[in-house]
Structures are given as structure tokens and as C-alpha cells.
């Protein structure tokens, strides 16, 4: 199978810990071939969705901390997305309008026979922070609004609250508002752009000190291990990008309950790979754009997460 990755520029990837690179290595080990393209390489010409892509190979035994772990194996080719055995959308956020347009192109390509994962419409219809409101029985008290008075009332009711933008990633823009927060007005004015931008507020979950767990769901089934991202001392955010320490651990009974309730429903909508963010007993985010943590879980537990993904991809394509 010829697999196209729509991805960020390869020289920018940290190959030694990048989940997309782990997918590539597992695909090649199973005899599949690879091409890569940037989001901007997608286009429509006379109704057909095409892409300018470059075939690549992986360098055997390469130092993944260096930048020569792959080679171009041919010149760039322009062809329909439907010409590939499968297309993996692995472009990282920001989820801006260019990303939204790309999901439309992917959706149109699927109508023309392309096999895209995650599905373009499914990515677009599941904004990663907002989608948790569909599963409110599994979330801490949550408010979504641009109304600062409403947020202040929520804060007064729950005393200890997390506020965050809906389009952030890696922990950017997240604030903890304790009961006596002298900068409350300034923080809310900044995050809501003086009431013109919608944000999310959630009751603070003390179990964050035990880690913000990433629970991966592949083809509707959970990976048996999560990666608990433990915050630095004095830090509210467990994100690895914010300095969190990743510790793999078996799924708890609650983790499995959440994954079993949510995973099959999302898989049925075209989300082959999902990353639940779980703090304590609650989901806080549903990652659908480019979920990560494959490498950390695999290295710490020996469970082959990329292999599980590739097997699920092969089944999805064959279905």
C-alpha cells in the first residue's frame, strides 16, 4: 500500500519521538511505501482533488536525533488523492482557516474515492476542546462562553477554575483562577479579547498532580497503556510542551470505562485515531488532529503502538 502523509516539513520533526515517524517506520516494516506532502500542496483542479507529493524512503538504522533519517526517492508528482492506498492527515495545529479548508478538500477527495484518516469532515466536526461537551457525563463542570460576567459567576460558584482558549495547543493560554485571583479581570479580558472570543472554563481537577493522561484509541479500541504527563512542581499544565514528564502506566478501570463509552462512537464517525486527555475521572479534551505519545508508550512498556495503528489502518482500508 502506498501511504501519503500530509504533514509538517520533515526537517522540523523530532524524529526520535514523533508519532508520525513511528507510524512511517512501522508501515515500512510491513512492506508499505511512503510519500509526503504539505497541507498547501492540496488543490482542486476542475473539480478533482489533487496533491503534489514526494516519494520517500527511510534510512535504515538512522540516528533519529539527526536530520538524515529519510531520503527523497523521486521527483514530486501531481496526482489525485484517490491514487494512494491511504492518506494520513498528520498536520499539527493551529486549527486555523487554512486547516479548515484542508478538511474540506479531504472530504471532497473521499467522495472521489480517496481513503483518508482521520476523515476530513470528522476532524472538522470534532473541535478538540468543544467536543467534550457531547460527553458531559464524563467531564468536570464546564462552561463555554465569551460572556465575562458568566465566567465570573462560574468562578464564584466553583472557586478554583481553569480557563483556556478553544484553539490553543501544548498548554498555551491556560490559566488557573483560584478563589482569590487578583488578576481575574485582566486574564478574562485577555483570553476573551474583551468579550469577543469564546473560551472554556472548567472546575479545577486536583488530580492533575498525578498527571494529565493521554489515552489513545485506535479503531475504537484503547491502547492498554496511557501516558501520564506529570506537571513540573508549581505548574498547572501537564503538557509535554510545557515541561511535563511522561510516565506510561496501565489503563485504570475508569480509563477503560471512558474509552469504551467514547471510542466506538468516534470510530464510527471516521476517527481511526483519537487521543483522550484524562485527568482523574474526567476527560478534558479529545484530540483528533494528530494525536501523539506513540513513542513514549512503546519505549516504556514494550507495547507496539505504531504496529497497532498500522494493523487498524490496513483493516480500515480493506473494509
Distances (CA, A) of 294 to 185, 298, 307, 316: 40, 6, 10, 19
pLDDT band for position 233 (50/70/90)?
A: low
Pick the catalytic residue from 129, 203, 212, 296.
Answer: 129
pLDDT band for position 241 (50/70/90)?
A: low
Pick the catalytic residue from 115, 214, 255, 296.
Answer: 214
Q: What is the mean pLDDT of residues 3-12?
A: 97
Pick the catalytic residue from 17, 115, 164, 203.
Answer: 164
pTM higher than 0.85: yes
Q: Which residues contact 156 (CB under 8 A, 6 or more apart)?
A: none
Distances (CA, A) of 76 to 38, 79, 106, 168, 180: 12, 10, 20, 33, 58
pLDDT band for position 81 (50/70/90)?
A: very high
Distance CA 304, CA 3 (A): 20
Please say whether the beta carbons of 48 and 32 come within 8 A.
Answer: no
Q: What is the mean pLDDT of residues 162-181?
A: 89
pLDDT at residue 91 in the model: 94
Pick the catalytic residue from 107, 128, 277, 296.
Answer: 277
Beta-strand pair 86-89/116-117 = parallel
pLDDT band for position 167 (50/70/90)?
A: confident
Q: Which residues pair with 286 in a beta bridge?
A: 276
Active site residue 287: yes
Please say whether the beta carbons of 215 and 259 come within 8 A.
Answer: yes
Active site residue 285: yes
Mean pLDDT check: name the lowest of 7-16, 89-98, 257-266, 272-281. 89-98
Q: What is the mean pLDDT of residues 44-55?
A: 98
Pick the catalytic residue from 90, 107, 287, 296.
Answer: 287
pLDDT of 161 over the 70 cut: yes
pLDDT at residue 93 in the model: 82
Pick the catalytic residue from 25, 237, 255, 296.
Answer: 237
Pick the catalytic residue from 118, 229, 255, 296.
Answer: 229
Active site residue 203: no
Task: Map out the domains of the chain with their CATH numbers.
Answer: 2-122 (3.40.50.20), 141-204 (3.30.1490.20), 207-311 (3.30.470.20)
Active site residue 129: yes
pLDDT digit string (tens) for 290-311? 999 999 999 999 999 999 999 9
pLDDT of 237 over the 70 cut: no
pLDDT digit string (tens) for 101-135? 999 999 999 999 999 999 999 999 999 999 999 99
Q: Which residues contact 27 (CB under 8 A, 6 or more apart)?
A: 1, 3, 34, 310
pLDDT of 248 over the 60 cut: yes
Active site residue 277: yes
Active site residue 91: no
Amino acid at each position: 500500500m502506498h501511504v501519503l502523509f500530509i504533514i509538517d516539513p520533515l526537517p522540523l520533526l523530532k524524529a526520535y519521538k514523533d508519532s508520525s515517524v513511528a507510524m512511517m517506520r512501522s508501515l515500512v516494516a510491513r512492506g508499505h511505501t511512503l510519500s509526503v506532502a504539505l497541507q498547501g500542496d492540496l488543490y482542486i483542479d476542475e473539480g478533482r482533488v489533487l496533491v503534489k507529493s514526494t516519494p520517500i524512503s527511510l534510512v535504515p538504522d538512522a540516528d533519529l536525533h539527526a536530520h538524515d533519517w529519510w531520503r527523497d526517492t523521486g521527483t514530486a508528482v501531481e496526482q489525485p488523492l484517490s491514487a494512494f492506498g491511504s492518506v494520513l492527515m498528520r498536520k499539527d495545529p493551529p486549527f486555523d482557516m487554512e486547516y479548515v479548508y484542508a478538511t474540506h478538500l479531504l472530504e471532497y477527495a473521499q467522495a472521489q474515492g480517496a481513503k483518508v484518516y482521520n476523515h476530513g469532515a470528522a476532524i472538522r466536526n470534532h473541535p478538540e476542546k468543544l467536543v467534550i461537551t457531547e460527553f458531559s457525563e464524563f467531564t468536570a463542570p464546564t462552561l463555554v462562553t465569551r460572556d465575562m460576567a458568566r465566567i465570573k459567576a462560574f468562578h464564584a460558584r466553583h472557586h478554583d477554575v481553569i480557563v483556556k482558549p478553544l484553539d490553543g495547543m501544548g498548554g498555551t493560554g491556560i490559566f488557573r483562577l483560584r478563589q482569590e485571583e487578583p488578576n481575574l479581570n485582566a486574564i478574562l479580558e485577555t483570553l476573551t479579547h474583551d468579550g469577543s472570543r469564546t473560551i472554556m472554563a472548567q472546575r479545577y481537577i486536583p488530580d492533575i498532580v498525578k498527571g494529565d493522561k493521554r489515552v489513545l484509541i485506535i479503531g475504537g479500541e484503547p491502547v492498554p497503556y496511557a501516558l501520564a504527563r506529570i506537571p513540573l512542581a508549581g505548574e498547572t499544565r501537564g503538557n509535554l510542551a510545557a515541561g511535563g514528564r511522561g510516565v506510561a502506566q496501565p489503563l485504570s478501570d475508569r480509563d477503560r470505562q471512558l474509552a469504551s463509552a467514547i471510542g466506538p462512537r468516534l470510530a464510527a464517525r471516521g476517527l481511526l485515531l483519537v487521543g483522550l486527555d484524562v485527568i482523574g475521572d474526567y476527560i478534558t479534551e479529545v484530540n483528533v488532529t494528530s494525536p501523539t505519545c506513540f513513542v513514549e508508550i512503546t519505549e516504556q512498556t514494550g507495547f507496539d503502538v505504531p504496529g497497532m495503528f498500522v494493523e487498524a489502518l490496513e483493516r480500515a482500508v480493506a473494509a
